[in-house]
C-alpha cells in the first residue's frame, strides 16, 4: 500500500463507511461494545464538545488515565480537531506531572480518579488549588499559565472540572459547522500526539508525532502480523505509550481489527479476555507473557484462537518466546523494536520467519524505513556482524522534541538520521539484533560484555524465572557483571548455585561477580526494566560510592 496521507479522523471515517457494524472496541469485563459507527458518533460528540469549551487546532490536551474506554475516544476526538494529545505516564507523581503540564503548555488536562495507590484528584487539586474556586473552563492557574480546563473522565462531578458526560451532551447540541471547518484545515503532517520519553537521563522530552508518522507506522505493524477484519487483539499494554496507541490502536484502525483492551494489566484478566472474545492476537512486554505463562490457572483457559501478536519493550528471553508459541498457540508471534522518536517501530519479524530469527533477532526494517548501523566513534557504516549504533531515517522519524531544539539536533543529524542510542548488529539477510544500550554495555578490563548474552544464558538455569544483568563499578576492572534474579516459585537458589552453574559454561570474565535475588524489577510504566535503578541498588547493597559511576 502506498502511504496514506489521510488524517486519523478521515481514516476512521473511511473505516466507518466500509465497516459500520464491525466491532472496533470491546471491554469484555463490562460487556462494553462499540462498532466503528457507534464509536465514531461518540468521537464526534466529544470533538464538538471540546471545540465548544474553547479547545481547538494546535492546543495541547493532556490525558492522565488508565486504559479506560474513553482514553481512545479522546485520542480520536483530539485528532479530529487538530489538538495535540499529550499522553501522561500513569506512574507519574506530583513532581513529574507538574513538569509535564508546564513543559507541554497544556491547555486542558483529562484525568481519572486514581491509579493503584495514587489519588490523581488529590494531586491535581494540590497542584491547581484555583480549581476549587474557578468557573469551569475559566481556570487561571498561577503555576500553569496556559491551563484553562480540567476534564474528569467519568460521570462524577468534581469542583472546577468538566466531566466527559457533560462534554458529550454539549457536543450533541452543536451542529457540525465548526467541526467540519477545522477538519478541512488539517494536514496529515500536523503534530497530534506528544509522548514524554522515559529517559534515564535528565528531564523527560516531549516527542512530537504527526498523523502521518503514527498512522503509517501502525499500518505496516499490522501488515507484519497479517492483520485483517477477522482479527481480535487483546491489548493489555498502556495506551499512554506507543505500544498501546500505535502498535495497538493504529494497527487495529488501519486493518479493521477488533480491539480488546484491558484497563490495567492483570495476567488472569488477559487470559480470560482471550478466551471470552476468541482473540487471535495478544501484545505484551516479556514480563507480561512470563506472568501469564506462570499463572497457576493458566491451564484452565482455552487460548487456541491465538495466532499472532507482538512481544516488545525489552529483549525477549528465548525460553519465554518458545513457550508463548507452543503453550499460548501464538505460532506467528512477532518481535518489534523501536523507540518513541521513531513512531515507534523500526524493525519487526514476520509471521513466517524461522523460530531462530524470531527468538534471536528483532526482525528486518519495516517498508520505507532506512536503517544503518554505524560506529559511534567514527560514524562509519558497520558490516554484517559488527556491533554499532542503530540509526534510522524515513516517514516515521519524529518532528522533534517539543521546545528542545538542542536535544532534537543531537538525536536527528543533519542528514535526517535518527540516532537510537541502541547497540545492534545486522546479518547478511538484513535481520537486526539489539545487543544492548550503548550505555548498558559492560566493559570489564577492556573486554566488552553484552548483558543480553549473559541474560539468555542464565535463563537456561533451572529455578530462574527472570533475570537482568548490569555493570557494577569495580576498582580493579572498571566494571564487573552483576545479575539480578527473580527465582521461580519454590526454587531455592543461592549465589553459589549461580556461580557454579556459570563456572564451566561461560567465559570467566562474563560470570556474574555479584548475584542479587529480588521479587521484582523496577519498571517504567510501559514495562521496561530500569537498569540504571538496578545499578543504583547494587551500589547501595555493596556500599559503593555513587561517584564511582557517572550514570545517566
Q: What band does 368 get if pLDDT is binned at 50, 70 and 90?
A: very high
Using CB atoms within 10 A of its CB, is residue 137 exposed (0-12), middle (13-18) or buried (19+)? middle
Residue 89 three-state SS = coil
Residue 259 three-state SS = strand
**CATH superfamily of this structure's domain 33-196:** ANL, N-terminal domain (3.40.50.12780)
Out of 190-199, 258-267, 405-414, which region has the weakest mean confidence (pLDDT)? 190-199
Contacts of 487 (CB under 8 A, 6+ apart): 463, 464, 465, 493, 517
Question: Which parts of 211-359 are beta strand (E)?
Answer: 232-235, 258-261, 281-284, 308-311, 332-338, 345-348
What is the CATH class of 447-548? alpha beta
Residue 406 has pLDDT above 70, yes or no: yes
The DSSP bridge partners found for residue 308 are 281, 332
Query: In degrees rounded to 5, what are phi and psi of residue 520?
Result: -155, 165
Q: What band does 125 get if pLDDT is binned at 50, 70 and 90?
A: very high
**Segment 90-121, tens digit of pLDDT:** 988 888 899 999 999 999 999 999 998 899 99
| pLDDT of the residue at 391 | 98
| pLDDT of the residue at 550 | 38
- Element containing residue 171 per DSSP (H, E): helix 164-173
Q: What does R_g of the chain's alpha carbons equal in angstroms?
A: 24
> Residues 475-514, buried b or exposed e (16+ Cβ, 10 A)?
eebebbbbbbbbbeeeeebeeebbeebbeeebeeebbbbb
| pLDDT of the residue at 198 | 59
Residue 293 three-state SS = helix
**Segment 42-64, tens digit of pLDDT:** 999 999 999 999 999 999 999 99
Using CB atoms within 10 A of its CB, is residue 253 exposed (0-12), middle (13-18) or buried (19+)? buried
Residue 296 has pLDDT above 70, yes or no: yes
| pLDDT of the residue at 202 | 57
Residue 488 three-state SS = coil
Q: What is the DSSP letter of 327?
A: T
- Is-cis flag, bond preceding 344, omega within 30? yes
- Element containing residue 432 per DSSP (H, E): strand 432-437
**Segment 149-189, tens digit of pLDDT:** 999 999 999 999 999 999 999 999 999 999 999 999 999 99
Angle, alpha carbons 41-42-43 (nearest 5°): 90
Cell 523501536 belongs to: 338
Strand order of the β-sheet with 418-426 is 369-374, 388-394, 418-426, 432-437
Taking the alpha carbons at both ends of the chain, their separation in whole angstroms is 41
Query: Percent of the chain, pLDDT > 70?
Result: 97
Tell me how far apart the alpha carbons of residues 525 and 66 are, in angstroms, rounded to a whole number: 11
Cell 477538519 belongs to: 183
Q: Are 39 and 84 in contact (CB under 8 A)?
A: no
Residue 334, CB-side half-sphere exposure with 13 Å CA sphere: 25
| pLDDT of the residue at 475 | 81
| pLDDT of the residue at 548 | 39
Residue 436 has pLDDT above 80, yes or no: no
Query: In degrees rounded to 5, what are phi and psi of residue 171?
Result: -65, -35
Q: What band does 223 get if pLDDT is binned at 50, 70 and 90?
A: very high
Q: What band does 377 get if pLDDT is binned at 50, 70 and 90?
A: confident
C-alpha cell read off for 514: 555479584
0.85 exceeded by pTM: yes
| pLDDT of the residue at 545 | 66
Q: What band does 532 get if pLDDT is binned at 50, 70 and 90?
A: confident
Closest to 60 (Cα-Cα) out of 93, 76, 82: 82
Residue 547 has pLDDT above 50, yes or no: no
Using CB atoms within 10 A of its CB, is residue 410 exposed (0-12), middle (13-18) or buried (19+)? exposed
Closest to 284 (Cα-Cα) out of 339, 226, 250, 330: 330
Closest to 546 (Cα-Cα) out of 471, 477, 473: 473
| pLDDT of the residue at 183 | 96
Average pLDDT over residues 514-519: 96
Give the domain ranges of the chain.
33-196, 447-548
Between 226 and 199, name the one with better pLDDT.
226
Mean pLDDT, the chain, whole residue set: 93
Task: Give the pairing type, strands 206-210 and 191-196.
Answer: antiparallel
| pLDDT of the residue at 551 | 37
C-alpha cell read off for 101: 503540564
| pLDDT of the residue at 505 | 81
Cell 472546577 belongs to: 160
| pLDDT of the residue at 360 | 85
Contacts of 296 (CB under 8 A, 6+ apart): none
Q: Are 448 and 353 in contact (CB under 8 A)?
A: no
| pLDDT of the residue at 438 | 76
C-alpha cell read off for 48: 464538538
- Element containing residue 223 per DSSP (H, E): helix 211-224
Cell 551500589 belongs to: 539
Amino acid at each position: 500500500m502506498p502511504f496514506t496521507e489521510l488524517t486519523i479522523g478521515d481514516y476512521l471515517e473511511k473505516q466507518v463507511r466500509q465497516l459500520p457494524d464491525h466491532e472496533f472496541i470491546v471491554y469484555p469485563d463490562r460487556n462494553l461494545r462499540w462498532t466503528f459507527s457507534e464509536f465514531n458518533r461518540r468521537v464526534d460528540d466529544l470533538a464538538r464538545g471540546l471545540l465548544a469549551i474553547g479547545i481547538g487546532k494546535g492546543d495541547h490536551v493532556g490525558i492522565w488515565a488508565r486504559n479506560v474506554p474513553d482514553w481512545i475516544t479522546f485520542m480520536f476526538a483530539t485528532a479530529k480537531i487538530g489538538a495535540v494529545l499529550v499522553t501522561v505516564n500513569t506512574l507519574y507523581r506530583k513532581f513529574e506531572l507538574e513538569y509535564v503540564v508546564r513543559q507541554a503548555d497544556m491547555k486542558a488536562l483529562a484525568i481519572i480518579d486514581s491509579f493503584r495507590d495514587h489519588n490523581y484528584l488529590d494531586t491535581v487539586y494540590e497542584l491547581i488549588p484555583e480549581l476549587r474556586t474557578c468557573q469551569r473552563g475559566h481556570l487561571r492557574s498561577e503555576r500553569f499559565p496556559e491551563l484553562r480546563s480540567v476534564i474528569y473522565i467519568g460521570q462524577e462531578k468534581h469542583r472546577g472540572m468538566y466531566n466527559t458526560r457533560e462534554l458529550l451532551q454539549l457536543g450533541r447540541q452543536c451542529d457540525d459547522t465548526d467541526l467540519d471547518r477545522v477538519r478541512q484545515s488539517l494536514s496529515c503532517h500536523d503534530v497530534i500526539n506528544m509522548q514524554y520519553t522515559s529517559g534515564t537521563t535528565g528531564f523527560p522530552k516531549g516527542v512530537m508525532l504527526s498523523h502521518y508518522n503514527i498512522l503509517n507506522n501502525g499500518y505496516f505493524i499490522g501488515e507484519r502480523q497479517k492483520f485483517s477484519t477477522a482479527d481480535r487483539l487483546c491489548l493489555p499494554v498502556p495506551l499512554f505509550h506507543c505500544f498501546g496507541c500505535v502498535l495497538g490502536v493504529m494497527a487495529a484502525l488501519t486493518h479493521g481489527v477488533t480491539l480488546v483492551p484491558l484497563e490495567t494489566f492483570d495476567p488472569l484478566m488477559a487470559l480470560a479476555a482471550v478466551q471470552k472474545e476468541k482473540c487471535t492476537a495478544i501484545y505484551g512486554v516479556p514480563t507480561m507473557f512470563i506472568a501469564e505463562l506462570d499463572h497457576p490457572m493458566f491451564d484452565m483457559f482455552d487460548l487456541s484462537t491465538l495466532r499472532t501478536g507482538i512481544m516488545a519493550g525489552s529483549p525477549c528471553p528465548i525460553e519465554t518466546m518458545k513457550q508463548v508459541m507452543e503453550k499460548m498457540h501464538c505460532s506467528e508471534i512477532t518481535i518489534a523494536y523501536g523507540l518513541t522518536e521513531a513512531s515507534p517501530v523500526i524493525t519487526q519479524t514476520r509471521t513466517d520467519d524461522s523460530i531462530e530469527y524470531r527468538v534471536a533477532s528483532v526482525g528486518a526494517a519495516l517498508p520505507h524505513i532506512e536503517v544503518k548501523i554505524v560506529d559511534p566513534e567514527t560514524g562509519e557504516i558497520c558490516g554484517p556482524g559488527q556491533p554499532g549504533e542503530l540509526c534510522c531515517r524515513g516517514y516515521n522519524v519524529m518532528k522533534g522534541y517539543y521546545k528542545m531544539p538542542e536535544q532534537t539536533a543531537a538525536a536527528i543529524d543533519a542528514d535526517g538520521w535518527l540516532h537510537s542510542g541502541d547497540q545492534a548488529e545486522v546479518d547478511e539477510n538484513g535481520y537486526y539484533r539489539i545487543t544492548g544500550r550503548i550505555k548498558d554495555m559492560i566493559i570489564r578490563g577492556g573486554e566488552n560484555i553484552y548483558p543480553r548474552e549473559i541474560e539468555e544464558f542464565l535463563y537456561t538455569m533451572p529455578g530462574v524465572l527472570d533475570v537482568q544483568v548490569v555493570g557494577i563499578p569495580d576498582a580493579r576492572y572498571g566494571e564487573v557483571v552483576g545479575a539480578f534474579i527473580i527465582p521461580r516459585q519454590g526454587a531455592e537458589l543461592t549465589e553459589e548455585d549461580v556461580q557454579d552453574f556459570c563456572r564451566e559454561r561461560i567465559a570467566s570474565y562474563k560470570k556474574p561477580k555479584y548475584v542479587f535475588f529480588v521479587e521484582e524489577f523496577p519498571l517504567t510504566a510501559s514495562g521496561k526494566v530500569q537498569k540504571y535503578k538496578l545499578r543504583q541498588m547494587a551500589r547501595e547493597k555493596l556500599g559503593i560510592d555513587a561517584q564511582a559511576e557517572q550514570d545517566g
